Structure 1
Amino acid sequence: MIIIVIPNMNSAKYIAMTVQRLKNSVFYEKLIVIDSDSKDESVEILRKNNIFVHQIRQKEFNHGGTRNLGARLATEDGADILVFMTQDAIPADETWLEKLVAPIRSGEAAATFARQLPRPEASLLEQFSRYFNYPGVSRVRSEADIPALGVKAFFFSNVCSAVRADVFWELGGFPEDVIMNEDMTLAAKLLRAGYKVKYVAESEVVHSHDYTLKQQFRRNFDVGAFFADAGPELKGASVTGEGVRFVREQIAYVHRHGRADLIPLVIAEAAAKFSAFQLGKRHRMLPLALKKKLSMHSYHWDQKEQGKL
């Protein structure tokens, strides 16, 4: 049985369309939503669509822990394949789920993740980011690919992913003590344990974010903090070369589209990301109050302070 798990908070803008697309999908069986104190009508929309909603307090949300809760509920309900999505990921067609789980069912891989397409209104820079990170060619990765691919070997996204339930629990599920990138940590654990992960370009969802410079800074501070605290599974995950390649190709992309005027913004974003990442890697040197201000996920530091992580 395939069960989809989605964490939710105030998703009324997207959730009705997401649910409609899910219900029209080949292989769709059940959706479990873990809601964190939504204040909009999203929970009402879900319940009107007969979707099971498990509610938690907003202060209890944790990227890994909340998804593990959903996975436990799904496993108790008989799931043998767990599908994780975000509330704003919209399936591109009716076959996305069928294509996503096919490599798991055939034994080709223990986990898979889908291609993300930019929203129609996405900026040119965000369009490039989706196409750069989610190309049109599928690929299977194993532990043998780590030396050549570096951090890209561990690239995996819970925006839309699937994993064998037995393997998920064998590896302990998602880590609950990381600020973000719980999906990358799971992928690293899968590869280190001898399993294969497949990027399935044929399975597509529409998902993108146009972050401001401030948001880019805060998000990349958290990325740096994640890598500072990453466990042995991510050994060898150098990110420097990948960041340089991203900026170089992004400049070429905007130039090809006749938007050379965007190059200063590309450089400003790169500077914000790099400086925030380096600061995040050194977060242990910073006072807690400052970390909360610099972080996109400030609740993480509250949970650490309270001894919950």
Structure 2
Amino acid sequence: MESEVKKTSIILPALNARLFVDKISSHLSAQNIDLQRVIVIDSSSQDDSPMIWKDQGFRFHNISRQSFDHGGTRNLGARLASEQGAEILVFMTQDAIPADDRWLEELTAPIVSGQAVATFARQLPRPEASLLEQFSRYFNYPGHSRRRTEADIPELGVKAFFFSNVCSAVLADVFWEVGGFPEHIIMNEDMTLAAKLLRAGYAIEYVAGAQVVHSHDYTLAQQFRRNFDVGAFFAGAGPELAGAKVGGEGLRFVREQLRYVLRHRRADLIPLLIAEAAAKFSAFQLGKRHHLLPLPLKKKLSMHSYHWEQKEKK
């Protein structure tokens, strides 16, 4: 396994990451990863993190804040990694903290063994996460692994394409074979990549044994903006995502979340649960119809307003 890990490169987009550098560095050192194989793509941070990344030995690449693109920035990192001879590309976010020192070995094992060409890790809630956010992590990232192929799409619907770049790995040759991540889309570049892999006949695997601590307690306004962007993404989703039934999965989430809250004797959270569900649903529907809205309004409703600014400049 050690010889295979040496052929692995990690691509890590970053912005003002001062709080996370030391934690990431210590976990990677425990995995015997040469930090020169960790490619930090920094969007012109304004804190002292660029200096720290460099001082600690990471391979550092700066881009302008305006040029950041979910898919394009990661493709840039993947190209730099491929120039180094990387055979496995690992994509992480700066706030994904490995839960133990086996996460990378667990994450890449199905790729090394040939069982899958892409994998993604389990996300655990932060200790301070709210009960609703805890449920979200446990619902989307259960304690059992699962391999998926195109044959699973009729049964799983949109869940067949679920894939997260918070912590994922892809066989480099296959990544480039399917064209890498889509560029200039508002979000879900990871889901689109998973869909392309499945449609090409490959298997992807959710690896419950590879664990990172990562969660967000969004406000209602943030929930709305994020789901507006999700709707905008699905409005332009290509044929790879045919069969992605979104509505039924949303209803199942709310139903199970209600049971989780009642099981923890927190009926006081039901009004917030309902408000969040309403915000997500209305925002998603509005996002799907974003073409009816003026550009200035889209920027106000969106969590990723820079996406619309980039489209405006074009």
Q: Give me the TM-score of the superposition, normalised by structure 2.
A: 0.96
- Per the alignment, residue 309 of structure 2 pairs with 302
1:98-148 CA deviation, whole Å, 9 max, x = no partner? Answer: 010000010000000000000011111100000000000000000000001
Within the candidate set 159, 165, 175, 1:152 is matched to 159
Residue 25, structure 1, aligned to residue 31, structure 2:
yes
Question: What is residue 5 of structure 1 aligned with on the other side?
Answer: 11
Give % identity: 72
Is there any run of 5+ residues in structure 1 with no aligned partner, and where? Answer: none
Pair 1:35-2:42 in alignment: yes
CA distance in 1, matches of 2:54, 2:30: 17
Match of 1:45, SS? helix
1:85 maps to which residue? Answer: 92
Report the Cα distance in structure 1 between the residues aligned to 2:150 and 2:240, rounded to whole angstroms.
11
Give the CA deviation at 1:300: 0.5
Query: Which residue of structure 1 aligns with residue 72 of structure 2?
Result: 65
Compared CA separation, residues 39 and 100, structure 1 to 2 (3 A)? same
Of residues 161, 179, 183 in structure 2, which corresponds to 1:172? 179
TM-score by length of 1: 0.98
Query: Superposed, which structure 2 residues align to 1:114-133 within 5 Å?
Result: 114-133=121-140
Whole-Å separation in 1 of the counterparts to 2:24 and 2:131: 24
Number of the residue aligned with 1:241:
248
Q: Deviations over 1:264-306 (max 9, x none)?
A: 0000000000000000000000000000000000111111122
Amino acid at match of 1:194: G
Amino acid at match of 1:147: P
Deviations 1:156-183 (Å, cap 9, x if unpaired)? Answer: 0000000000000001100002100000
**Alignment correspondent of 1:139:** 146
Q: Within the alignment, does 1:15 sit opposite 2:21 as a pair?
A: yes
Q: C-alpha separation between the residues in 2 aligned to 1:250 and 1:304?
A: 37
1:279 maps to a residue whose letter is L
Please, what is the CA RMSD of the aligned residues?
0.9
Which amino acid is the alignment partner of residue 182 of structure 2? P
Count of residues paired in the alignment:
307
Contact 1:86 1:158 in 2 (8 A): yes
Cα gap change, 1:201 to 1:16, in 2 (>3 Å): same
Measured in 2, the distance between the counterparts of 1:135 and 1:211 equals 21
For the Cα contact (< 8 Å) 1:26–1:95, is it kept in 2? no
Q: Distance in 1 between matches of 2:127 and 2:292?
A: 42
Q: Secondary structure at the match of 1:39?
A: coil
How far the C-alpha of 1:15 sits from its partner, in A, is 2.3
Aligned to 1:95: 102
Give the residue type in structure 1 aligned to 2:56: N
On the 8 A contact 1:158/1:183 being kept in 2, the answer is yes
